Structures are given as structure tokens and as C-alpha cells.
Amino acid sequence: MRPGSKSRSPISPPAPRARKRRGYDGVEVMGSEGYFLNQFLVTHTNKRTDRWGGSYENRMRLPIEVVKRVRAAVGSDFIIIYRLSMIDLVPNGSTHDEVVQLAREIEKAGAASSIPALAGMRRAFPRLPHRCRAGRFPG
């Protein structure tokens, strides 16, 4: 919470804490396939001009911050897995180098591992039969 602010941060990890109390070994953060965190990563969906948009470092900020806050809430003896998209299948999706950079930063932030998801943003899937021909991805 910011000094003087009455609102709480929108990034709070009550669910992972509750899972830990109930005896779970870990949680998976869904950062792939066009879900909320993935939408911050790609310029196709992130049109922001503040510190959460623009450069890839800015666009990575939210997923990294989520992992950091989950790690702070659950401690070092709890597994955090982050699922990431390897290819977005939308114009201006993440590049291979960006995906690798994100995986490294997510690990530094406290995730035990990053699991690559197959591909795509959810809205891209209805177009797949038309865009993927001869066993290759569009691009």
C-alpha cells in the first residue's frame, strides 16, 4: 500500500497462502495463452503507455511482480510454477528471445520453474485451421 493510500495493492496472493495452509505443495501461476498476465506481455494486447507498457522490461513487470509477491507470501518452502506461452499466434506476439528473457526473470523472481505452454492466445485458436498449413506455425 502506498503511503497515504486507502486502497490495497491489486497484486495480493491470498489464494497461494490459503493453499499452503491447507497442505498443498505449490501453486501454478497461469501466465500463458492470452490470460491476464500474458496480455501484459504482448504489444498486440498491451497498449499502455505507463510503466506497465512500452518496453519489454515494462511489459514483464506485472508477471514478475506477481511471482515476487506470491513468493514473499508463501516462503521458500513452497513450489511456484509459472506457465508461459512459447508462441502467441497473434500479430506482435512475444519473440523467442523475449520468452527466454521472461523465463529467466520469472525464475529470479522466485518461481521454481517455468512450464512452456503449447501456443497461442485464446482468441487465436479459432483461426488456427486457416493459418497453420503444412505442419508449420504462422509467422
| pLDDT tens digit sequence for 28-53 | 898 888 889 999 999 999 999 999 99
Residue 9 placed within a domain: no
Structural domain count of the chain: 1
Is residue 124 in a domain?
Answer: yes
Instruction: Tell me if 35 is assigned to some domain.
Output: yes
Domain assignment of residue 100, yes or no: yes
35 is an active site residue: yes
Q: Which of 24, 35, 56, 82 is catalytic?
A: 35
Sort 139 into a burial class: Cβ within 10 Å, 0-12 / 13-18 / 19+.
exposed
Q: Is residue 89 part of a domain?
A: yes
Other beta carbons within 10 angstroms of residue 138's beta carbon come to: 14
Residue 43 placed within a domain: yes
Domain that holds residue 124: 25-131
Instruction: Give 86-125 pLDDT, tens digit per residue.
Output: 888 888 889 999 999 999 999 999 998 777 765 555 554 4
Residue 17 included in any domain? no
Q: Tell me if 107 is assigned to some domain.
A: yes
| Range 65-99 burial, b when 16+ CB lie within 10 A, else e | ebbbbbbeebeeebebebbbbbbbbbeebbeeeeb
| Cα-based angle 91, 97, 100 (whole degrees, multiple of 5) | 115
For 54-98, the pLDDT digits (tens) are 999 999 999 999 999 999 999 999 999 999 888 888 888 899 999
